[in-house]
Structure 1
Amino acid sequence: MGNCLTLEQHMLPQNPSEHICNDAGTSPTKPNRSGNGFNSTSSTSVAPKNVKDLRQNPGYSNVDIFTYEELRLATNNFLPDLILGEGGFGVVYKGVIDDYVREGYKSTQVAIKDLNPEGFQGDREWLAEVNYLGQLSHPNLVKLIGYCCEDEHRLLVYEYMACGSLDKHLFRRVCLTMPWSIRMKVALGAAKGLAFLHGAERPVIYRDFKTANILLDADYVAKLSDFGLAKDGPMGDQTHVSTRVMGTYGYAAPEYIMTGHLTARSDVYGFGVVLLELLIGRQTLDKSRPSREHNLVEWARPLLNHRKMLKILDPRMEGQYSVKIAQKVAFLAYQCLSQNPKGRPDMSTVVETLEAVQTTAEKQDSGGSRVTLYEARSLPVDATAGKKSPRRNEVGRTCDEVPRSNTVDSAAGKRSPRKNEVRRTRDVHPKQNTISAKGRTKSEPPAERDLYSPSPNF
């Protein structure tokens, strides 16, 4: 389980690769209703306290229980070529559950997490995911389809997220990048997921919000994954929950690191870090940069509320946003990253701000102000009028396709060739986003960044 950090130490491990054991808190309990109207999936079930209890009371009606043999069939005997990711918890495989695996089952693509019994995660974290995702349902939380708890085997079966994790797209080393519109869409979706958790009758603190834990489906809808560190928030007159410090370096709130006092505002700080990464296109910790820029928050936060803000935004998004909107989003990140927890907005306010940003951007786009890189591929051209037809889907493409900027000849209705268009196609290897059995691509942040085990990409 790794090296534990006690609160008496008042400091983080010197070696960032060291992992911290989970606190011995109470088992998760079920929130019945969130502030935005989404119900938990069960109103009467009691969360199992341990694996034995789960076996005796397999009680989440919306979650299937699979045998180990069924999941072995679903992954073609856990074929290495089907590995999606790997970390301290174990390995995640892509699989298909169909009539061949279980008679009468509708064919479904899934991601199967196989817990390594000798890894950093244990039964407690595995059970936390079953309990939380077995009871919570929201469009911006990854769906738990089922689990296997047979003998020593511990597996979780999730919906398959076709575009993988946010960090794989945001920090890719090729010259192409996620455009502004998609980044804001992802930020809003992730914010809604956190707001749902915080607004539940029994608030849930996610505790490990980072780009690697934000998964994207084929339409770039963001969903939160990996609930192994989630914890029930304070209730009634409580102001915080005291825990051992857990999470990921660079994303954990400073007051949580110093005191072990966990609140929903701790998640807000983590959201601010991710929003900053979306704006600047850099990882929160990057020792390849000049020394003063190693820590993204320390370097960039003072500039977010300054006229120099535009100079530090990801230059690959140039021309895709208005200055006014960029300033509004940058100031939101500035607030979320406040050293004082009371100075941070709650997640419902964050959602409202990002929704206003999206509405403004949509109005500007409807006026024909610009077309982003991702949108250009899905805008058919009317050859007779030289006008772009309405889009069926803003990101109507497979995730492995490389977005290219298309210029339109308004007179002829044809796309003008670009000098470097062929070169871009050749530079991108069709397998650039696949993950080897060792579980890491060149674009992934190094493992030393984690306080806890790295998250998979479903």
Structure 2
Amino acid sequence: MGCCQSLFFRGTHPENGHQHNQNPPLNHSPPSSAAVPAGAGIVPTFSEFLYSDLKAATNNFSSDFIVSESGEKAPNLVYKGRLQNQRWIAVKKFTKMAWPDPKQFAEEAWGVGKLRHPRLANLIGYCCDGDERLLVAEYMPNDTLAKHLFHWENQTIEWAMRLRVALYIAEAIDYCSTEGHPLYHDLNAYRVLFDEDGDPRLSCFGLMKNSRDGKSVSTNLAYTPPEYLRNGNHFSRVVIFIHLLIVMSRS
């Protein structure tokens, strides 16, 4: 389906400084060889990470490594990092005491960590150390849908790519729902990431609440469907409604 190729992505992988044009067809397959760039290819088995390893990977959680900041209602940060095996990762750092019970946090993380799908930025680990609560996921080097929609006005996304985003994220949501994770917390354009091939993926971070008592749905009324505002019902169609609104933004 060559119509879904796009000239939009000329991303820069964190491992090198040169630009590249990745325009895979919609039905392309990822490389099967184990010799793939760090952060790509085979997804590692979900596991517990040492805080010291994540601290080293993110250069002591340097502000230079921050790739995403949430709002005041959910003040947590996402950092990029590089492990000793050269794999690039994304690390979500929760606020102190967001999850007071380490067992509860670990159980939630393991539940999401079982999911594996090519349309997800898969969760590969977690960390509970004292009051620290962190999630570790595959790193997506080509930024978020939000940046492409709202921050690069002179480089709009072609409709072919918007359709690809709609299809791929719908596939991710359908998979999560089938696997027992029908709720996606605060779905927005910042949750849609682009991998090294320029393909959209849904962040697994949104499958866990920002805190033990956090809300399960978007607090952004612009992305809230009418039936939820009326009676609070939350179904899969609510998530689809939100994600289609995101794709249609700035058309």
Q: TM-score w.r.t. structure 1 length?
A: 0.40
The Cα offsets for residues 252-306 of structure 1, whole Å up to 9 and x where unpaired, read as: 22212222222112112212312322xxx1xxxxxxxxxxxxxxxxxxxxxxxxx
**Paired letter, 1:94:** K
Structure 1 range deviating more: 161-170 or 174-183: 174-183
The Cα of 1:89 is off from its aligned counterpart by: 3.9
CA 1:164–1:256: 2 relative to 1, 3 Å: same
What is aligned with 1:73?
56
Distance between the aligned counterparts of 2:86 and 2:147, measured in 1?
27
> 1:86 pairs with 65, 69, 89, which one?
69
Q: Which runs of 5+ in 1 are unaligned?
A: 1-60, 99-105, 231-242, 282-313, 315-458
What is aligned with 2:241?
269
Distance between the aligned counterparts of 2:234 and 2:134, measured in 1?
29
Distance between the aligned counterparts of 2:160 and 2:215, measured in 1?
38
> 2:208 pairs with 220, 223, 228, which one?
228
> 1:177 pairs with 151, 156, 160, which one?
156
Contact 1:229–1:247 under 8 Å retained in 2: no
Distance between the aligned counterparts of 2:63 and 2:178, measured in 1?
40
Contact 1:166–1:212 under 8 Å retained in 2: yes
Contact 1:182–1:220 under 8 Å retained in 2: no
**2:201 is the counterpart of 1:218:** no
CA 1:133–1:123: 2 relative to 1, 3 Å: farther
Distance between the aligned counterparts of 2:161 and 2:106, measured in 1?
33
The Cα of 1:148 is off from its aligned counterpart by: 0.8
The Cα of 1:228 is off from its aligned counterpart by: 2.1
The Cα of 1:123 is off from its aligned counterpart by: 5.3
**Paired letter, 2:208:** G
> 1:188 pairs with 151, 167, 171, which one?
167
**Paired letter, 2:243:** F
The Cα of 1:162 is off from its aligned counterpart by: 0.5
Contact 1:132–1:227 under 8 Å retained in 2: no
Distance between the aligned counterparts of 1:218 and 1:175, measured in 2?
22
**Paired letter, 1:190:** I
> 1:205 pairs with 164, 183, 187, which one?
183
> 1:109 pairs with 70, 75, 88, which one?
88
Contact 1:215–1:224 under 8 Å retained in 2: yes
What is aligned with 1:135?
114
**Paired letter, 1:62:** T
CA 1:197–1:257: 2 relative to 1, 3 Å: same
CA 1:220–1:83: 2 relative to 1, 3 Å: same
**Paired letter, 1:248:** T
> Which secondary structure does the structure 1 equivalent of 2:147 belong to?
helix
Contact 2:186–2:216 under 8 Å retained in 1: no
The Cα of 1:154 is off from its aligned counterpart by: 0.6
CA 1:78–1:207: 2 relative to 1, 3 Å: closer
Q: TM-score w.r.t. structure 2 length?
A: 0.69
Q: Which has the larger radius of gyration?
A: 1
The Cα of 1:153 is off from its aligned counterpart by: 0.8
The Cα of 1:173 is off from its aligned counterpart by: 4.4
Count of aligned pairs between the two proteins: 197
What is aligned with 1:248?
219
CA 1:94–1:244: 2 relative to 1, 3 Å: closer
What is aligned with 1:151?
130
CA 1:196–1:123: 2 relative to 1, 3 Å: farther
CA 1:195–1:156: 2 relative to 1, 3 Å: same
Give % identity. 31
CA 1:227–1:267: 2 relative to 1, 3 Å: same
CA 1:97–1:65: 2 relative to 1, 3 Å: same
**Paired letter, 1:218:** E
